[in-house]
Amino acid sequence: MFLLFDVGNTNIFIGISDGFKIIDTYRLNTEVTKTADEYYIQMKNLIDFSTVKHIAISSVVPRVTERLKEISTKFVGIEPLIVGPGIKTGLNIKTDHPREVGADLICDSVGIDDDISKALIIDLGTAIKYIYVKNKTILGVIITPGVTISIKALVGQTALLPDIDIEVPKKVLGTNTIHCMQSGVTYGVASQVDGLIDRIRREVNEDFEVILTGGLSEMIAPLCDHDLSVDSDLILKGLLKIYNKNEQFRK
C-alpha cells in the first residue's frame, strides 16, 4: 500500500493508494506543535500502517515534514520520498526562480491527465493558486488569499463582524451579517475565478482546460460561470506519479 501526505498550512491531506489510483482520503488539521508520536497515534485510527510499503510527502510546512519523516522511519521503517530538489518530476518550470516553486504547485501540475496539453489548475487551499501548465511545463502562477485567510482577516481586523462557517448562502445579496460575509467569501471567490480565467485567456491568447482542486473546489465550482472540471484528489495523483518516477524508492 502507498501512503501519500500533502501537508498544507491548514490541513494534512492523506491518500491511500494501490500504486495506480487513490483508494481513500482523509484530512487532519495541520498542527506544528504536535509531535511525531501524537500524529502517529491520531493516524493509527485511520491507517493500517502494517500494510504500508511506500510513503511520499509533499509539504509546505517544514516542521510537519520532519514529523512525518520521523513517523515513516521510526514506526514504519521506510525512508519516504519528499518532493524537493533532486526528485524526478517530469515537469519543466519556466519561472524566474524555479526552486521557489512549492511542492504543492508541482504535484498539482504533474497530477493532470497526460492527454491534457494545456490547463489552468486552480487550487482552492489556504492560499488560492492559479497554475498555468502547457506541455508539462509551468509557465506562470497567480497566488491570492484563500477563503479561510479572508475570513480570518475580516474577523480579526473588525470589531463587530463574527467568525463564520463557510457555507454558500441562497442569495448573493445578504440580508444579515453572516449571510453577507458568506456571500463575500464564496460568490466573491467564484467571481475571482471567472475573472482571472478571462484575463489569463487574453494574456496567453489560447484556450485551455480549467481544473478546480483543493478542499473547497466542490463548493465553489457550481458558483462559477465558466466550464470547468473538479478533481479533489489532483495533488495526491501528482504525488503518486512523482513517486513512481523515482525508482530508488520502489525497492
d(CA 76, CA 200): 45
Pairing, β 137-145 against β 127-134: antiparallel
The closest of 106, 113, 116 to 60, measured between CA atoms, is 106
| Catalytic residue chosen out of the listed positions 104, 108, 123, 231 | 104
Which residue type does 179 have? H
Q: Is 104 annotated as catalytic? A: yes
The closest of 182, 229, 197, 213 to 109, measured between CA atoms, is 213
For 104, the enclosing helix (H) or strand (E) is helix 103-111
d(CA 133, CA 190): 21
Residue 127 CA to its chain's centroid (Å): 9
d(CA 123, CA 131): 8
Helix (H, G, I), strand (E, B) or coil at 200: helix
Q: In what order do the strands lie in the sheet with 209-213?
A: 92-93, 137-145, 127-134, 118-124, 209-213, 229-230
What amino acid positions are annotated as catalytic residues?
104
